[in-house]
Homo-oligomer: A and B are copies of this chain.
Amino acid sequence: MNYPKDLATLINYYEKLPGIGSKSAERLAIATIELKEEEITEFSDALKNAKKNLSRCSVCGHITDQELCDICRDETRNKNLICVIEDYKNIFAFEKSGKFNGTYHVLNGLISPLDDIGPEDINLNSLIVRLEKLKNPELILALKPTIEGEATTMYIKKILEGKNVTISRLAYGIPIGAEIDYLDNITLEKALEDRKKISE
């Protein structure tokens, strides 16, 4: 199958994106060339600008087009409450829930001895610096429940021992809407362990 060269290049780039196979890439590339001339120009500029103008928030590590991200700049946010996450993408998920009024700290990775990633390789020092400036801060560790996530959680807990920091982690349990038949054993075990009295 020979596509015209420019179309082939475009298909090739779409295929680099996650979840886009060759069939989807073809469909997206064709849809793209059917956009209006000015839309193409804007799309093309948006690609370059997004890469050029976005960098990391100097406090929390979220992506932003300014020195501080909009969450760190927001006066109404509780700066004493910090949700620690692996990746800035997680912030979008929390923000969409609209239920969290604290701030974030992006680790940009998790401790993983097997992959030779130690505490000094992730964005931990800046977290300690942040915490030292706060009075009775609370940390919510929202790391994924894998070996690496647990190792990082345990490490953070350990280095903050004796310091005046309240530390919690996200609850493990049954996701809302799930069929109990299809749950994995570990989730079910955690859900049993952490069961809550209905009167609470």
Contact = CB atoms under 8 A, between A and B. Distances in A.
Given A3-B92, A18-B27, A43-B47, 16 more contacts: A1-B95, A1-B96, A2-B70, A2-B95, A4-B65, A7-B50, A9-B42, A17-B28, A17-B31, A17-B32, A19-B27, A20-B28, A30-B89, A32-B47, A33-B54, A40-B48
A92 B26 contact: yes
Q: How large is the interface on A (under 10, 10 to 19, 20 to 34, 35 or more residues)?
A: 35 or more
B49 A31 contact: no
Interface of A: 1-7, 9-10, 13, 16-20, 24, 26-33, 35, 37, 39-51, 53-54, 63-65, 69-70, 89, 92, 95-96
B16 A33 contact: no
Quick one: which of A13, A41, A48, A63 has the most chain B CB within 10 A? A13
23 contacts: A1-B95, A1-B96, A3-B92, A4-B53, A6-B50, A6-B53, A7-B54, A16-B31, A16-B35, A17-B32, A18-B28, A19-B24, A32-B51, A33-B54, A35-B51, A37-B51, A40-B47, A40-B48, A40-B51, A41-B48, A43-B47, A44-B47, A47-B47
B13 A54 contact: no
A152 to B, nearest CB: 21
Nearest to A57: B4
Closest 4 CB pairs of A and B: A6-B50, A9-B46, A13-B43, A44-B47
Contacts of A50: 6-7, 9-10, 29, 32-33
A69 to B, nearest CB: 8
A46 B10 contact: yes
Contact of A44 (B24, B44, B92): B44
